[in-house]
Structure 1
Amino acid sequence: MKKMMLSMLLASASSTAAWAADADRSDNETITVTATPDAEQARTEIERTPGGVSVVPDSAFKDTPVQNIKDILAYVPGVITQPRMGDDARVSIRGSGLSRAYGNRGLSMYLDGIPLNTSDGLLDFFEIDPSAYRYVEVYKGANALRYGSNALGGAINLVTPTGRDAPALDARIDGGSFGYVKGQASSGGSSGAFDYFATVSAQRIDGYRDHSKGDAIRGNLNIGYRISNNVETRFYLYGATTNQRIPGEVAKAQAINSPRSANPVWIVQDQQRNVDSIRVANKTTIRLGDTTVDIGAFYNNRHVKHPIFQWLDFTVDDYGGFVRAVDDRSIGSLRNRLIVGANIQNGKIDTEQFVNLPGAVKGALAASMVDASKNVSAYAEDSLFLLPNVAVIAGVQYLHATRDRRDRFLANGDQSGRTSYDLWSPRLGLLWDVDPDSQVFANISRSAEVPSYDANVIVANPALKPQRATTYEIGTRGRRGGIGWDISLYRSELRNELQCLTTGPFSACSIINAGRTIHQGIEAGLDAAVPLSALASGDSLALTAAYTYSDFNFDGDVRYGDNELPGVPKHFVRAELLYKHPSGFYAGPNVEWAPGHYFADNANSLTVDPYMLLNLKAGFDLGDHWSAYVEGRNLTNKHYISTVAVAGTANAASELFNPGVGRAVYGGIRYRW
């Protein structure tokens, strides 16, 4: 009975009753510290944040043909994922990285708390294995202070299982349209203080479009050891090799009328992105009375063979460490929770750039450079409970970043350069636990982003400034009976927004500062379980919906006035209605809807058309060993635009568009033991 009561207290740690009970715990009642909380503990922890956050458990995406990160984030309000080809996609939160035609900016991604971004901030998703995770944490905007991230889009943390919560065997095979085949197997277990989790997957796909074939092999190893009830250390090893051909952006008419075709220039150049990567990390968690400390270090190596408009061959070496302390105690009669931390992420990109001859053949050397990045950040956040259920939260982050390019190819002049940034980002918030099942929150936060190397910004535009934003946010989350909600309203006022504008098919995009812009919107999520007892006793309907309203504009720009910012639809809806039978059978439709036009350029001269996709899924899950699932996507075979590269001013011939995937059917079988 004592263990049951203690478990209930931990699950409701954010409530006053739980905290008081924990504070009164006798010395004989110990709680074993863990470096990796389970999904419910993660949800409790993340909801101490006075802003938009989410935890997506694996039950939301495991029993489905998971192909890319969109299948994980589809029902998180405020997150818009626009696939390009294969595993690649643009993920935008609150308008982050709107203009990116490749890679992602304005979003920090972590794997078990270890950075996936390169040290200069660039991110892509080729290394992510979307069916390998126990849960995924989403911190929108400056709410990602926990990870020292102050990017406009916030942070996403992918969390793998441990041997203490993973089955001895979990195997699956998926397949479907356009040559898609994926197999995955994982194993986990524990013995005394030791536990392990390992998973490996392999996939291939011919691709919906011409010249979009890809394959990947990915593996994760997670080993933990409990030195004592107060100390746990955990080692992580990740490896991946991915190969992906790139079909390229095309003009709007070609994307709509011939969506399976590729850009002919991309075919001649045989444009590809091939990545071999390995990541090694350790995290140790120590409890010292009322204080818990996380200490970690990591090393990431990535070799990229990337024939595009030129043949890029580069190696990324990143390394760093972090420390984070959480102290939860009483100051007089008031509860206080203090978080302090620091992060170091340094690295270099060693690049050789060649002329790309037809057929992806290396020609003459065109550029050679070493780009070094150093990032040191420190942050603190304090939550003081002025009332038993009301906390005032104040925080600040300091970032010192340097970017240093050493040019080794001087035929066209020395293009070496160095710049540094010192940025402060304060934060003030309020969190009200209305009752144990609902919260109201508000915050005012600053954020900052430093330019990356990928478009030669140090030399081409040394006056480029970091992007700054002030965000105002208010919202609520909670549950009443079978109905849950998550609603945030925000307004971000940006200065020097970083845009990467497409200027032509034979160069990288050009990064500029856009001056004053405004990002504001609504993020609304709903889930509901409605008991029916219609076809059988205990059957039900489950409704899941996410609505994102994105109102992004220039603010009195000299060239673009108050035009809308291009890149994403103003309204975006994902909704699913699922019938569930007590036998384990489930089935139902879901839709993706982007009503209304949006723009492909700053001048608002070229539009992207609205669309609606109808999907249907069904499956059978006995709840023990076997499950099977099938899903039909875009059943009406709608021709639509999935992703658009952004230009300053575009016309009908501008090659900016990636068509979405047509009608497809996928299915799979999963076995757990």
Structure 2
Amino acid sequence: MKFFPAAASARALFCVLAAPALAHAADRDNAPDPRSDMESMVVIGTPTAAEAAAVIQRTPGAVEVIPDTAFKNTPVQNIKDILGYVPGVITQPRMGDDARVSIRGSGLSRAYGSRGLSLYIDGIPMNTSDGLLDFFEVDPSAYRYVEVYKGANALRYGSNALGGAINMVTPTGRDAAAFDGRVDGGSFGYVKGQVSTGGTAGAFDYFATVSAQRIDGYREHSNGNAFRGNLNLGYQITPDVETRFHLYATSTEQRIPGEVSKAQALNSPRSANPFWVLQDQQRNVDSIRLANRTTFRLAETVIDVGVFYNYRHVKHPIFQWLDFTVDDYGGFVRAVDDRTLGGFRNRLIVGANVQNGKIDTEQFVNLPGAVKGPLASSTVDTSKNISFYAENSFYLRSDVALVAGIQYLHASRDRLDRFLSNGDQSGAKSYDLWSPKIGVLWDVDDDWQVFANVSRSAEVPTYDANSFATPANADLDAQRATTYEIGTRGRRGGIDWDIALYRSEIRDELQCLTTGPFSACSIINAGRTVHQGIEAGLGAAIPLSAFALGDSLALNAAYTYSDFFFSGDPIYGDNRLPGVPRHYLRAEVLYKHPSGFHAGPNVEWAPGHYFADNANTLTVDPYALLNFRIGFDVGAHWSAYVEGRNLTDKHYISTVAVAGVADATSEIFNPGTGRSVYGGLRYKW
């Protein structure tokens, strides 16, 4: 129920006023409560932002819906521009539009890619079939809204990861402008253009958007460009049946500056790792995704059926020259039944997911200048995953729901070694995992909810852990966690809140530890660990009359407390887990004028040191960033903004490649971006 900046267009304003989860504190006067009309409605096809907000509030746990009004007047360069004000979510940019995203400590040790988090676009998986995730293919400015399900609250998508799930939803022809174009530009050679169109013709509707982006990069050897396109075509077969086809295409090229020592990151933040420059390390991805989802309404039951195919070709010269293709395919079925049983409301969700795939990899020696040398490795990895899940909400009273759920996952990982004569890296392993959940949701009144839940989660090792050359790799276990959560969301007298407290007790946490500059990280099971913390969002509106009738001052804050530690580890004892600040705050004060003018400062603050290694020998320094934005948006036709970031030009560490034991010479740090200014102009009709 966090509140976000909003546009004043009719639809955006409705989305803001209709659902507390979407409203900005400055736009809440006379706001109707959506739950009485929308929480039990059956949505055919793609929900609007307001519909999605009403449905997500039936979750007895920490969830968010972020409308495009919250991020459209920003550079939307990477996913941090979307997730920056969601408590519990830590987004650490690396270079270009890539970033590490962690929810409740998921995947903290990854130096590349992300793990422990399921990413969807229009409900279609973006992770590879083994669970690994990159954000190069995400176009942050293409979405109508973004759903965030923390932890086991993502059961509705069948997600079983510690971090939960993020679902990015594109517009359809039924809620898109006939023309919407924008141009953004700014520091370090950043230029982006985007155009979209949408419309309807009877039962048929369409939406298409394309964007092109280039950036020289803050750091040496961090230039890149990207071209992305999204298309969806919908057809209302009958009032109770809709089908929609999706096509996503991406081509990205990105040079990688590499991790450096702490001293280099802080004293010479724009420099790259010389060895990475010598090898001209890069990540270049071409991908195509195809999907169909068909929705049926049968009385009180709605059934979604979908299929998808994802193809990706990656040309990736790093410490070696990786050339691989990914073929993922699968399908899903999900049924939602909302009816009265014996005088009590009951909402049952059941579903099944299949996601299978293959990655065909050839690995060469990377000679200076990103030249392919002799073949060093050749493998085929096959992953199969099938899951079944069910969740039932039984309303003991009209305002109290008891929620119980369970998921079963069968996963297999198989590696075929085509290079070594004895095939000693070939092998296979399978996993069978059950994850139950129970929770309660209490609507104290129309504007206040209290929730609690206990859940299990499980994560299977990714492809890069599937080395069967040593017993340690062959015997990697799935990561298991039991999470306890309690929280509340609501609004009172111009103040909005969203607070959750959680504790995850984890066995066999999967860590990817950096062991040196010329190899991939080494994946281990860490034993017993604990992730616990507080996620707190706060919004407030202060009406003003000194300057103009109807102007206001809006306060917006997101605080994340992350208390992560080993629990009696035989090597690291009770040391703190590295990789994330213990305290992290984003806060903004924004003046809003009825004309559409808005301006104000915001800060990003990570007080206190945190560790870069399991041994707790090397720390990352605290930092505070001052930013300021100014814009004009009346919700019709033209809008514009200018935003300054890190105005004091603070030198700081953005992200760290976690090590087991590190010292002052360890090259595991990525510096944050220095002082920068961006601006954008948008027109729609």
| Same fold flag (TM > 0.5) | yes
Task: Output the amino acid matched with 1:163.
Answer: G
Corresponding position of 1:599: 611
For the residues of structure 1 that align with 2:302 and 2:587, how far apart are their CA atoms?
40
For the residues of structure 1 that align with 2:180 and 2:497, how far apart are their CA atoms?
32
- 1:390-449, Cα deviation, whole Å (9 max, x unpaired): 011000000000001111112474311100000000000000011121110000000000
Aligned ranges 1:162-177 → 2 under 5 Å: 162-177=172-187
For the residues of structure 2 that align with 1:327 and 1:306, how far apart are their CA atoms?
46
TM-score, structure 1 length as denominator? Answer: 0.96
Corresponding position of 2:365: 355
Match of 1:631 among 632, 639, 643: 643
Corresponding position of 1:322: 332
Corresponding position of 1:513: 525
Is the CA contact 2:44–2:297 (under 8 Å) kept in the aligned structure 1? no
For the residues of structure 2 that align with 1:268 and 1:354, how far apart are their CA atoms?
16
1:456 Cα deviation from its structure 2 partner: 3.8
Is the CA contact 1:451–1:457 (under 8 Å) kept in the aligned structure 2? no
1:615 Cα deviation from its structure 2 partner: 0.2
Aligned ranges 1:207-246 → 2 under 5 Å: 207-246=217-256
1:18 Cα deviation from its structure 2 partner: 6.6
Task: Output the amino acid matched with 1:380.
Answer: A
For the residues of structure 2 that align with 1:191 and 1:12, how far apart are their CA atoms?
33
Corresponding position of 2:60: 50
Corresponding position of 1:299: 309
1:459 Cα deviation from its structure 2 partner: 3.8
1:454 alignment partner, SS class: helix
CA 1:447–1:19 in structure 2 vs 1: closer, same or farther (change >3 Å)? closer
Task: Output the amino acid matched with 1:269.
Answer: Q
1:528 alignment partner, SS class: strand
Match of 2:627 among 612, 615, 619: 615
Task: Output the amino acid matched with 2:550.
Answer: G
For the residues of structure 1 that align with 2:669 and 2:465, how far apart are their CA atoms?
20
For the residues of structure 2 that align with 1:459 and 1:526, how far apart are their CA atoms?
51
2:277 alignment partner, SS class: helix
Task: Output the amino acid matched with 1:454.
Answer: D
Match of 1:343 among 330, 353, 359: 353
Is the CA contact 1:419–1:458 (under 8 Å) kept in the aligned structure 2? no
Task: Output the amino acid matched with 2:316.
Answer: H
Aligned ranges 1:416-435 → 2 under 5 Å: 416-435=426-445
Corresponding position of 2:547: 535
Corresponding position of 2:75: 65
1:260 alignment partner, SS class: coil
240-249 or 532-541, which deviates more: 532-541
1:523 aligns with 2:556: no
1:408 aligns with 2:418: yes
Corresponding position of 1:372: 382
For the residues of structure 2 that align with 1:450 and 1:157, how far apart are their CA atoms?
21
For the residues of structure 2 that align with 1:623 and 1:205, how far apart are their CA atoms?
29
Task: Output the amino acid matched with 1:191.
Answer: A
1:480 Cα deviation from its structure 2 partner: 2.3
For the residues of structure 1 that align with 2:61 and 2:550, how far apart are their CA atoms?
36
For the residues of structure 2 that align with 1:18 and 1:664, how far apart are their CA atoms?
42
1:469 aligns with 2:481: yes
1:8 Cα deviation from its structure 2 partner: 8.4
2:136 alignment partner, SS class: coil
Corresponding position of 2:578: 566
Aligned ranges 1:72-471 → 2 under 5 Å: 72-411=82-421, 413-460=423-470, 461-471=473-483
For the residues of structure 2 that align with 1:159 and 1:109, how far apart are their CA atoms?
11
1:355 alignment partner, SS class: strand
1:34 Cα deviation from its structure 2 partner: 2.5
1:458 Cα deviation from its structure 2 partner: 4.1
Task: Output the amino acid matched with 1:249.
Answer: E
Is the CA contact 1:457–1:511 (under 8 Å) kept in the aligned structure 2? no
Corresponding position of 2:556: 544
For the residues of structure 2 that align with 1:244 and 1:183, how far apart are their CA atoms?
18
Unaligned runs of 5+ in 2: 1-13, 20-31
Is the CA contact 2:39–2:55 (under 8 Å) kept in the aligned structure 1? no
TM-score, structure 2 length as denominator? Answer: 0.94
1:122 alignment partner, SS class: coil
1:480 aligns with 2:479: no
Task: Output the amino acid matched with 1:343.
Answer: N
For the residues of structure 1 that align with 2:540 and 2:665, how far apart are their CA atoms?
46
1:249 alignment partner, SS class: coil
For the residues of structure 2 that align with 1:347 and 1:13, how far apart are their CA atoms?
41
1:590 Cα deviation from its structure 2 partner: 0.3
1:589 Cα deviation from its structure 2 partner: 0.2
1:482 Cα deviation from its structure 2 partner: 2.8
Is the CA contact 1:83–1:642 (under 8 Å) kept in the aligned structure 2? yes
1:178 alignment partner, SS class: coil
Is the CA contact 1:50–1:431 (under 8 Å) kept in the aligned structure 2? yes
Task: Output the amino acid matched with 1:513.
Answer: N
- 1:326-357, Cα deviation, whole Å (9 max, x unpaired): 00111101111100000000000000000000
2:463 alignment partner, SS class: coil
For the residues of structure 2 that align with 1:76 and 1:330, how far apart are their CA atoms?
35
Task: Output the amino acid matched with 1:605.
Answer: T
1:660 aligns with 2:681: no
Corresponding position of 2:567: 555
For the residues of structure 1 that align with 2:213 and 2:107, how far apart are their CA atoms?
28
Backbone CA RMSD of aligned residues:
1.6
Corresponding position of 2:602: 590
Is the CA contact 2:424–2:469 (under 8 Å) kept in the aligned structure 1? no
1:670 aligns with 2:678: no
For the residues of structure 1 that align with 2:137 and 2:359, how far apart are their CA atoms?
18
1:223 Cα deviation from its structure 2 partner: 0.8
1:235 Cα deviation from its structure 2 partner: 0.6
Task: Output the amino acid matched with 1:468.
Answer: R
For the residues of structure 1 that align with 2:493 and 2:202, how far apart are their CA atoms?
39
1:584 Cα deviation from its structure 2 partner: 1.0
CA 1:59–1:13 in structure 2 vs 1: closer, same or farther (change >3 Å)? closer
Is the CA contact 1:142–1:151 (under 8 Å) kept in the aligned structure 2? yes
Is the CA contact 1:12–1:44 (under 8 Å) kept in the aligned structure 2? no
For the residues of structure 1 that align with 2:324 and 2:436, how far apart are their CA atoms?
36
1:50 Cα deviation from its structure 2 partner: 0.5
Unaligned runs of 5+ in 1: 23-30
For the residues of structure 2 that align with 1:666 and 1:292, how far apart are their CA atoms?
44
What percentage of aligned pairs have identical amino acids?
77
Match of 1:496 among 500, 505, 508: 508
Task: Output the amino acid matched with 1:492.
Answer: S
1:531 Cα deviation from its structure 2 partner: 1.1
Task: Output the amino acid matched with 1:659.
Answer: P
Is the CA contact 2:413–2:466 (under 8 Å) kept in the aligned structure 1? no
For the residues of structure 1 that align with 2:433 and 2:408, how far apart are their CA atoms?
6
Task: Output the amino acid matched with 2:418.
Answer: R
For the residues of structure 2 that align with 1:174 and 1:90, how far apart are their CA atoms?
23
